[in-house]
Amino acid sequence: MPKLRRGFTLIELLVVIGVLAVLLTIVLIAINPARQFSQSNNTKRRSDVNTILNAIHQYAADNRGVLPAGMTNVAATPMPIRRSAVPDPATEADICTDTVTDYVAALPVDPLTNDGAPVTDCTTAYDTGYTVSKSATNNRITIYAPDAELSEVISVTR
């Protein structure tokens, strides 16, 4: 009487592995993790520009329309919201001191800048990765996210 063999042949195992590889490839193409991360980063950027603009407007509302001191030189050309090791009000808008803790818990930072860690210490150098401009004709403030991904333009004006 011949022995009864149980199990799969090598060819059967290779066919199953091949089918699973094809299915995994289809799923990865459908999900596209890189695009998902980019969309997630852009969602955070949209939230951040709104948060920064709200903090600036709340400050102005509490101070009879006066903008934060770090925005005195902001004009129609977007200026980075940051503070260098040697602060230069002519080339950067340092709004941290006037807005953090009173109007926003921490100054939001672009997800690709400084690992997205928000700014809480306003006495040291920081860079948010966002820019601000002020219209010369109607004094409206615009916050931009210049590093937006997927060819999106992210800005909020009020």
Q: Structural domain tally of the chain?
A: 1
Residue 5 within a domain: no
**Confidence tier at 2 by pLDDT (50, 70, 90):** low
* Model confidence pLDDT, tens digit, residues 65-106: 999 999 999 999 999 999 999 999 999 999 999 999 999 999
Bridge pairing between strands 126-134 and 141-145: antiparallel
Residue 3 within a domain: no
Residue 38 within a domain: yes
Cα–Cα distance between 30 and 62 in angstroms, integer?
Answer: 49
Residue 5 pLDDT greater than 90, yes or no: no
* Model confidence pLDDT, tens digit, residues 113-134: 988 999 999 999 999 999 999 9
Residue 114 within a domain: yes
- Record the pTM: 0.84
Residues 6+ apart with CB under 8 A from 81: 52, 92, 93, 94, 95, 107, 128, 130, 131, 132, 143
Helices (H), 32-83: 33-62
Domain containing 144 equals 14-157
